[in-house]
Amino acid sequence: MKKIILLICILTMTLFAYDNYDARILNEFKANNLELDFTYEANQKYPDDENYPDLVVRKAKKVILKRYSYEGAKAEVKYVYFNEKQSIVAILVGWRTIHKAAGIDGEFYELTLFKLISNNSIEIKKISGLDGYGEGNKVDKETGYTIGKPISFIYKKENEIKKLVEKINILEELNSQIKNKMINLNINAIKNILKEIKISKNTLVNYNNIAYYLEKAKAYPESIYLLEKILKKYPNRTVAYINLGDAYWGLANKEKAKQAYSTYIKQMKEKGKKRKIPKVVLERIK
């Protein structure tokens, strides 16, 4: 637990937050040779509507990311976070939405996380949701709109976005350190990490990568423990079965290795990817 708390402290970042953008003001800040500019242009599809913000990220004057707002929606950039250490930009955009027939009344948000690598950008996460009222059949007496049950989008809050980014970075840091053989994780350490950061759609890839690098480091029991946790929650995670088979094979437990490989082969065939099955896997199940 102490190691996890220490790791969280090491990875805690300084984040910059900006809100209440005005359509006629250029907002800009520089950090670590990055320029984040908000510019506004008339919407070509809906020329009668207000202007909408475009986010442009530049490094050494070269555009490496450009984020457009939604056509036809009165979108507003709510917050921007820049993680200097990991070069991650988090962008929260929100816009008012009312759909009487669907029972929707509230503000729709989209949070997108970008990883900036050299002169390219990679989208690493996109989370969207409504904050207000969702599907239902209740009629609001004041407005006449049909609205549903209350729905809260937690990532509209600065501290929740920060928590999300920090969790992703912790797993990325673990990936890097295990890959480069800088640290070793025993099963107790893995248990503690799983208590702090649950296996979810947001963390699945990172956890699978950690298990893969543990297997490559010949930490077979640890890799197996994590992979079985992953597959318990996500039994259709095909790649995890070949990783699990490799780990059991490393322990010379060929029976369980063949079971994992067989499931891997079955799912690959079901996905029409039979030709991509490695020959070594086919040889091991004979």
pLDDT tens digits, residue range 160-207? 988 888 887 778 878 887 888 877 788 988 887 888 788 999 899 999
d(CA 268, CA 286): 18
Q: Which residue type, as a one-letter code, is found at position 219?
A: A
Residue 37, beta-bridge partner list: 28, 56
Residue 3 — pLDDT band, cuts 50, 70, 90?
very low
pLDDT tens digits, residue range 242-276? 999 999 999 999 999 999 999 999 999 999 999 99
As a whole number, the mean pLDDT across the chain is 76
| Class level of CATH domain 184-284 | mainly alpha
Q: What is the pLDDT averaged over residues 80-107?
A: 79
Nearest to 221 by CA among 191, 247, 256: 247
Parse the chain into domains and list their residue ranges: 14-155, 184-284
Which positions ≥6 away from 30 have C-beta within 8 Å?
Answer: none
What is the C-alpha radius of gyration for the chain, rounded to an integer number of angstroms?
23
d(CA 174, CA 144): 52
pTM for this one?
Answer: 0.52
